[in-house]
Amino acid sequence: MAQKQGIIIKTDGTIEDTTIDGLKDMQAIVGGLIERACSVEDSDMWCNEEGLLLHFPINHKATALRAKDGDALLSRFPVVGDVLILGACQHCGDSGNVSQAARDAVAAV
């Protein structure tokens, strides 16, 4: 995976730009195993797949952002822990840079 530009949404509501250089960087941001939580415009939100089981704090900003995605089932559960937003997966499962549309969506929440 080449370096990619992304956004971190922390549980305290702060937003940071970041550069990701592979799976280990993604796991370090979310605090463990990763899973795709939802789409944000034309990008993907990644979180810790065990965050609920490990009682990570609720990420209110990420939860509100996911609620805009419109998936009623997913909206029943909060997003927990710090999350990472990268461009949607392209060929071979490789994420791209976060889009301006996703940046705008994050800023609007």
pTM: 0.89
pLDDT digits (tens, 9 = 90+) for 15-71: 999 999 989 999 999 999 999 888 888 889 999 999 999 999 999 999 998 887 666
Total count of domains within the chain: 1
77's tokens: 């559960």
Domain around 85: 4-108
- Please state the φ and ψ torsions of residue 27, each to the nearest 5 degrees: -65, -35
Residue 1, Cβ density class (10 Å: 0-12 exposed, 13-18 middle, ≥19 buried): middle
pLDDT digits (tens, 9 = 90+) for 62-72: 999 888 766 65
- DSSP assignment, residue 1? -
CB 52 within 8 A of CB 38: no
